[in-house]
């Protein structure tokens, strides 16, 4: 089978978005890059301020409600539909629900050839990147660094601690069938 979808899972500031951009540059065919941030940005602002939507606490803890889950499910099906229609898709994701999050994606992507990639980075490195970025609530990166990987199965894992995004992308691209 030909890989249609690459799912990158890692905590905030782990390097997923940089890897996705590099994958677009090194893979020979065109690939669309979508991420959970795309979904959140597409939601009405009221969803980002409600218990039913998505909330980010002062310590960086992220909580999601039932309306978020409904839109997330539709978004996942939409991403899968793009892949089924012939697009190659890189998904930049944060499995806040760990194995349950991966299971939701597995259901949506059923029948497609998917490469599951864990993007790892120690909490202290992610926290430093978070501060340098300046666009995230402090604490989110450290809280997510390990927790998003619990119970999740991968075809491949990369560690961005000492490996640049381009090299990680080359490692991943070598696994794309």
| Catalytic annotation, residues | 37
Which residue(s) pair with 35 in the sheet? Answer: 92
Helix (H/G/I), strand (E/B), else coil: 124: helix
Integer Cα distance of 164 and 78 in angstroms: 31
Distances (CA, A) of 123 to 35, 44, 77: 21, 31, 31
Quick one: which H or E segment has residue 108?
Answer: helix 99-108
């Amino acid at each position: 089978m030909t890989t249609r979808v690459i799912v990158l899972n890692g905590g905030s500031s782990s390097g997923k978005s940089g890897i996705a951009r590099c994958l677009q540059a090194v893979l020979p065919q065109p690939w669309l890059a979508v991420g959970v941030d795309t979904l959140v940005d597409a939601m009405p602002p009221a969803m980002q301020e409600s218990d039913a939507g998505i909330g980010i606490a002062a310590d960086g803890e992220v909580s999601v409600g039932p309306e978020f889950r409904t839109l997330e499910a539709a978004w996942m099906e939409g991403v899968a539909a793009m892949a089924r229609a012939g697009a190659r898709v890189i998904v930049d994701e944060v499995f806040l629900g760990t194995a349950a999050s991966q299971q939701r994606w597995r259901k949506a992507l059923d029948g497609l050839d998917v490469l599951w990639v864990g993007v790892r980075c120690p909490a202290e490195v992610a926290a430093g990147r978070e501060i340098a970025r300046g666009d995230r609530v402090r604490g989110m990166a450290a809280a997510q660094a390990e927790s998003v990987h619990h119970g999740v199965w991968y075809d491949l894992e990369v560690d961005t601690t000492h490996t640049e995004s381009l090299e990680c992308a080359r490692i991943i691209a070598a696994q794309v069938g």
